[in-house]
Structure 1
Amino acid sequence: MTTLEQQSVDFVFNLFKTQLSSTFLYHNYIHTERVLKSVNEILEALELSEDEMLIVRLAAIFHDVGYATSTKQHEKESAKVAKHFLEDNNVSSEIVSGVERCILATCLDEVPKTLLEQILCDSDTSHFGKKYFEETSELLRKELEIRDVVYYTHDEWLEENIKMLAEKHKFFTEYAIKNWQPQKEKNLTNLIKKKKKKAERVEKEKLRAKYKKESPERGVQTFYRVALRNHIKLSDIADTKANILLSVNAIIISLIISNLLSKLDNPSNAYLIWPTVIFVLFSLISIVLSIIATRPNITRGEFTKEDVENKNVNLTFFGNFHKMKLEEFEWAVNELLQDKDYVYSSLTKDLYFLGKVLDRKYRILRITYSIFMVGIVVSILAFGISFNIMQGGH
């Protein structure tokens, strides 16, 4: 780096430090350093004169200093600041005018005409072909937002970047096309992939919202879920109670058969016959009723297409379809799911008939418990009376 270039770097650094607003997150000294580095990268691959290399390096150093004084037509402001500084340092007019032309060529509406202008323009937009593209792009978006220039959402900024890289921007020098264009294309591909993923995510959210809107409301779902769970629990309780009665009475009959029947052959134990018969009879009735309470009903297990179309079959109960073919059942379920009212109707029917089954179970169980209780009392009284009669006879 020449003495003039170092003086220029120091001047720009101090200018940015003292006069540039901190809201410039992108157009600041770091960006200037990156542009100068990119210029040197291109210059190393070319054979230019000392004056030509000096012109493009100075242009890179001064190309954004106009932001320190004005954001409108900052290229002209930058060229003006560069001209004053270079003239004060006795730089030749050819170099000064060359620096001005390069800086003015960085305007987005301009097309660089000379090689030096192309070098600076490619260097100014070299971040398009760098791995740190997303970082610098986000800094520019935030800068525009903070400075109230324009506000872009992330989706809008993504669209702007795709348009910029795909349509508006292009590299001019052979070096940039060869070395930076491949990474630029990768960056563009990543942006397109990100846009596609966002579009897929939005579509999924729309479908989820549509399904949520069309599905039963949360309160309705909760009602059916709680009601069905309570019915199933009550059915389990009824079956448990019936099994207890069944087991107890079976044990009673087993004990009577093993202990009392062998003694009834003795004439002296004749008084035990009727109490034993009463006891066994009540236990046997309790067993029969317990079995009836838990015995499943036989269903035909078939339905027709007319039943489904007329909504006369409840597909939530296995007893209505266990004899059907899989294809027919799948068709019926698809028909059911397409009609929200049919779904509600099926769940309601399921609740109703579960309630009817529970009513039958609990009515029989109540009778069974009553018979068992009466049987115990009557049997004990019968044993007591028979024993007293036997004692009186003696």
Structure 2
Amino acid sequence: MSDKDIIEAADNFVLNLFKEKLPNTFVYHNYSHTKRVYKSINEIIEDSQISVKDATVLKLAAILHDTGYIKTREGHEEESVKIAREFLESKDVEKDIIEGVEKCIKATKFKNTTPKDHLEEIMRDADSSHFGKDYFEEASEYLRQEYIAQNIRNYTPQEWRDENIELLIDKHKFYTPYALKNWQHTKQENLADLINKNKKIKKKIKKEELKAQLKAKYKDKSVDRGIQTFYRTALRNHIKLSDIADTKANILLSVNAIIISLVLSNLLSKLDNPSNDYLIIPTAIFVIFSAITMILSVIATRPNVTRGEFSKEDVENKSVNLAFFGNFHRMELSEYEWAMDELLKDRNYVYSSLTKDLYFLGKVLDRKYRILRWTYTIFVTGTIISILAFALSFYLGGSRMS
């Protein structure tokens, strides 16, 4: 069997072997990786002055060097040697070629080993040629995913970049003139890309951390968002309740004004007739209760404006509420601006002012709703009494006339 036939048979053997026995989790160490190494071997062979037999040894070693992965990951090189020997012996390959293949396969054991001769250097360079190729990033990611899929180590992208940078700087080197001439430059570019990406990521992380620190610092110094929300909601609710109270008072005011107008225009003219004397008392009751309701409605909505002035001592003692217009409407603009500057310098003063504003709004609401409650009670009571008075008057008046 010719060297070409042996190489072709080995290629078919590995293809079928991986197809049948290699787990799907080997997304890097698979037939595609084998073909990449084989291609890199041929590149070096074409540029080197080596014999045909040595070329055959290298090509066979490139094809068979990862077959041991079908049995184990750790120590796969020894298993690859056994599989290669068994296959090559079955094809009656010369003993010295088999021994050369075994030697080259063992040279791919990267950790703590150094190539002993030119063939081992070629094999080592071909096996790690992806470091100096344009597809380095893609191949490297396949290897990371293989580690994750096989639960070897769950590298993060950042950890994997750090691992590759350390590997390319401290642990890996090319040996052959061809690799140094053709792959070393691309390896340096790949290393530079890793370093630049690392710098950008770390710069971004540092920027985000700084941003978070500034945000936290700003948050500590400013009014807390939760407290702001509380005051905003509470003040808005108080103002809505005040509007509702004013609306209720206006409704009562309008209704009773209409009632008094109708009474005066319709009943008053009839009271001049002596025969309608029985209507005087119920009419008077009706008008009096309506008038009282109107008066209470006006009192409920009547604004209470304070003196509208404050002193410098009031601001320094934090006893004035600058959030309420009644405390400053008579002050000059410059004085009010100064007072507001003093207020905004002190976070506790801001809280205190908002609390006072909320408290006194509550007191105003309490007064409004208490008066409104009495107003509605008087209106309803007056209406009932008036209806009963009219009914009684009509009854007595009708009996007297008959």
Contact 1:239 1:294 in 2 (8 A): yes
The TM-score, its normalising length taken from structure 2, stands at 0.64
User: Which amino acid in structure 2 is aligned with residue 90 of structure 1?
Assistant: V
Percent of aligned pairs sharing the same letter: 45
**Equivalent residue of 1:366, what SS?**
helix
Note closer, same or farther for the CA distance 1:47–1:92 as it changes in structure 2 (3 Å cut). Answer: same
Name the counterpart of 2:346: 335
1:60 paired with 2:62, answer yes
Contact 2:132 2:185 in 1 (8 A): no
Name the counterpart of 1:2: 4
- 2:325 and 2:164 mapped to 1: Cα distance? 58
Counterpart of 2:259 (choices 252, 255, 260) is 252
- 1:302 and 1:82 mapped to 2: Cα distance? 101
Name the counterpart of 2:145: 139
Name the counterpart of 2:362: 355
**Equivalent residue of 1:248, what SS?**
helix
Q: Cα deviations across residues 226-280 of structure 1 (Å, max 9, x unaligned)? A: 977875665454334223212211222333455456x379676995777656544
User: Can you give the 5+ residue segments of structure 1 that lack an aligned partner in the other structure?
Assistant: none
Alignment of structure 1 residues 198-277 onto 2, 5 Å: 234-256=241-263, 258-259=265-266, 263=269, 271=277
The CA RMSD measured in Å over matched residues stands at 5.6
Counterpart of 1:294 (choices 289, 297, 301) is 301
Contact 1:127 1:136 in 2 (8 A): no
Contact 1:36 1:123 in 2 (8 A): no
Name the counterpart of 1:368: 375
Alignment of structure 1 residues 1-394 onto 2, 5 Å: 2-13=4-15, 16=18, 24=26, 26-39=28-41, 42=43, 46=47, 51=52, 54-68=56-70, 71-72=73-74, 74-75=76-77, 78=80, 82=84, 89-91=92-94, 93=96, 97=100, 100-101=103-104, 104=107, 107-110=110-113, 116-117=122-123, 119-123=125-129, 125=131, 129-133=135-139, 135-142=141-148, 145-146=151-152, 152=155, 156-157=159-160, 159-164=162-167, 172-177=179-184, 182=189, 185-186=192-193, 189-190=196-197, 193=200, 234-256=241-263, 258-259=265-266, 263=269, 271=277, 279-298=286-305, 312=319, 329=340, 332=343, 335-336=346-347, 343=351, 349=356, 352-376=359-383
Contact 1:35 1:60 in 2 (8 A): yes
**Equivalent residue of 2:151, what SS?**
helix
Note closer, same or farther for the CA distance 1:365–1:107 as it changes in structure 2 (3 Å cut). Answer: same
Note closer, same or farther for the CA distance 1:163–1:144 as it changes in structure 2 (3 Å cut). Answer: farther
Note closer, same or farther for the CA distance 1:106–1:72 as it changes in structure 2 (3 Å cut). Answer: closer
User: Which amino acid in structure 1 is aligned with residue 260 of structure 2?
Assistant: I
Deviates more, 1:230-239 or 1:367-376: 230-239
Note closer, same or farther for the CA distance 1:203–1:352 as it changes in structure 2 (3 Å cut). Answer: same
Aligned residues: 383
User: Can you give the 5+ residue segments of structure 2 that lack an aligned partner in the other structure?
Assistant: none
User: Which amino acid in structure 2 is aligned with residue 335 of structure 1?
Assistant: D
The TM-score, its normalising length taken from structure 1, stands at 0.65
- 1:169 and 1:196 mapped to 2: Cα distance? 27
User: Which amino acid in structure 2 is aligned with residue 61 of structure 1?
Assistant: I
Contact 2:285 2:382 in 1 (8 A): yes
User: Which amino acid in structure 2 is aligned with residue 116 of structure 1?
Assistant: I
Q: Cα deviations across residues 167-201 of structure 1 (Å, max 9, x unaligned)? A: 65566533334556656654654565556666667
Note closer, same or farther for the CA distance 1:190–1:142 as it changes in structure 2 (3 Å cut). Answer: same
Q: Cα deviations across residues 315-337 of structure 1 (Å, max 9, x unaligned)? A: 7767678888679657745733x
Aligned-pair CA distance for 1:369: 2.2
**Equivalent residue of 2:249, what SS?**
helix
**Equivalent residue of 2:305, what SS?**
coil
Q: Cα deviations across residues 271-300 of structure 1 (Å, max 9, x unaligned)? A: 577765654444333223212213344357
**Equivalent residue of 1:145, what SS?**
coil
User: Which amino acid in structure 1 is aligned with residue 34 of structure 2?
Assistant: T
User: Which amino acid in structure 1 is aligned with residue 299 of structure 2?
Assistant: I
